[in-house]
Amino acid sequence: MNTDIENLFKDKVLGHPAGLFVLFFTEMWERFSYYGMRALLVLFLISSVTDGGFGWEKAEALSLYGTYTMGVYLTPVFGGLIADKLLGYRWAVVLGALIMTMGHAAMAFETPMMLYMGLGCLMVGNGLFKPNMTSIISNMYKNHSEKKDGAYSIFYMGVNAGAFLGIMLCGYIGENYSWSLGFGLAGVFMFFGMLQFYFTQNIFGDIGIPPQKEKAIDLEKIGGDGDQDFVENSNATNDEGTSKKVIIDRLIAVVIFSLFTVFFWASFEQAGGSMTIFAEEYTQRNLTGGFGTLFKYIDALLTIIPLGIITYVLYSLFKKTFSKYALGNIMLSISFIIIWGIVGWKVLRDFSKETVEVPATWFGILNSLFIITLAPAFSKWWESKYNMSGPLKFGLGLLLLGVGFGFLALGSQDIISGEPIIKVSMFWLIAAYLFHTMGELCISPVSLSYISKLVPAKWIGFMFGVYYLFIAMGNKLAGTIGSYIEEIEKAYSISTFFLIFTIVPVIAGLIITVINPLMKRLMHGVK
């Protein structure tokens, strides 16, 4: 591609191109919709019919949850190819967002047929959306590899800002009012995210345009024929003469990283399944007196402060882009006006009540909250002289994940199946989410960055899709293993169930730490 990418770095927001923050907000609203719906799905399915749910068994609900989350990460394999060969990254993102909006709208009808149709649309739409957002970032930073880790960490903050707000608000409305309103709210902000991206997409120049148009632009710029264009692009995508052996070794390294992500996500994704059930059934969530009042203030601050910070980022983006992309900015501002209105209503309603019942979905916000809080520190760490190699980051991330489940195994050891349910302190879930988050920051954004560094440019979209294929395996395993929660609890204990997710990640983390020297050789100098 002959785009003058350096032009993107002239208008900066917080040290990065303004275009990164267009992606930040688009991804934020997409993750709002995804995590907002995900927070409700299992609870909705296992709730009794009289409470508006489907009354499914836990094993059925968790199995569907695993299949859905697998599909969400499986379809990007095809979405990356479609974008690379036909649509281009930008149109793939727009079309994917539109299909996901339709999916959320379908789920709001709360019938089995519409549920399956909605989940199907969400899987297909995500396949077009997910890999191509990260591919746009990869192209933006292809001449600034030293800033990629920081860029992906900032992007990941957008992911988790959306997840935070989605779980907080969709979960709150779904549990307290109606499942339909919770599912529907997720679709509203997906729609605004699509409009914001569509009306601001020209900020990326030629990045992400359809491949046929890109080829025509390149031919016009170089003044050559098709064969010359192929030769020039082949040289560019082979990293200026990188040998075939080096490319193969680096691809092997990507596959090894991807294999270890299966272990990570098979455990981490218990958050939307077994951990949500643990919050619903085994955690003391009724707070009265001083504890209830304290929670109201903490919850209000946890909602308002992060939203205020994100609004400041929005203001910073407005200053750089409003004159050129007014309509996209207006769409974004409308979405923020709506979200502030909902947050204000929620806070006032909570303070009008004497007692507090913490929603089971509320604990899901902790992961996002900790990421928003800790991501800048981790980003600085990865850019400092104390930065670690990729395999060591993976090893640390898996170890931290195992420690998080260790807290749940320890906290639930007094729970005995078949006896009156013992409610345990919220501390155990909070501690688990803290360590899970630190583990995630060592693996997820770093994985995206390493793939973009190790893979030849012409395969970026496809390899991001392959990476999501491995995540799909992990998600299906999460649902499959999670569906045995009742069987393991009856045969052993709920503590034993969580102990499985303590031991397996720790072993995987130790293995990838041991093979660090081999991985460094396979990466051939990529850091």
pLDDT tens per residue, range 225-236: 444 333 333 333
Q: What is the mean pLDDT of the chain?
A: 86
Q: Which residues of 219-244 are buried (b: 16+ CB within 10 A; e: fewer)?
A: eeeeeeeeeebeeebeeebbeeeeee
Q: Residue 429 has what pLDDT?
A: 96
pLDDT value of residue 6: 57
Does the structure show a pLDDT above 70 at 383? yes
pLDDT-derived band at 419, boundaries 50, 70, 90:
low
Residue 434 amino acid letter: L
The pLDDT score that the predictor gives to residue 212 is 73
Domain 5-523 carries which CATH code? Answer: 1.20.1250.20
Partner residues linked to 356 by β-bridges = 287
pLDDT in tens, 463-486: 877 887 898 899 999 999 999 998
Of 1, 2, 508, 5, nearest in space to 257 by CA: 508
Q: Give the contacts of 23 (CB within 8 A, at least 6 positions apart).
A: 133, 136, 137, 155, 158, 197
Largest CA distance in the chain: 79
- What backbone torsions phi and psi does residue 354 show, to the nearest 5 degrees? -80, -40
Per-residue pLDDT tens for 13-65?
A: 777 788 888 999 999 999 999 999 999 999 999 998 888 889 999 999 999 99
Tokens coding 366: 């902790």
The structure tokens listed for 50 are 């009289």
Task: Give residue 108's pLDDT.
Answer: 86
pLDDT tens digits for range 329-360: 899 999 999 999 999 999 999 998 888 889 99
Long-range contacts for 196-199 (Cβ within 8 Å, ≥24 apart)?
196/22, 196/25, 196/26, 196/29, 196/328, 196/329, 196/331, 196/332, 196/335, 197/22, 197/23, 197/26, 197/90, 197/93, 197/94, 197/97, 197/328, 198/94, 198/328, 199/325, 199/327, 199/328, 199/331
DSSP state for residue 366 in the 8-state scheme: H
Res 237: pLDDT: 40
Q: For 504-508, what is the mean pLDDT?
A: 96
Alpha helices in 47-147 (DSSP H): 58-74, 76-82, 89-107, 112-140
Please give the pLDDT value at position 385. 82
Give the pLDDT band of residue 386 (cuts 50, 70, 90): confident
Task: Check pLDDT > 80 for residue 443.
Answer: yes
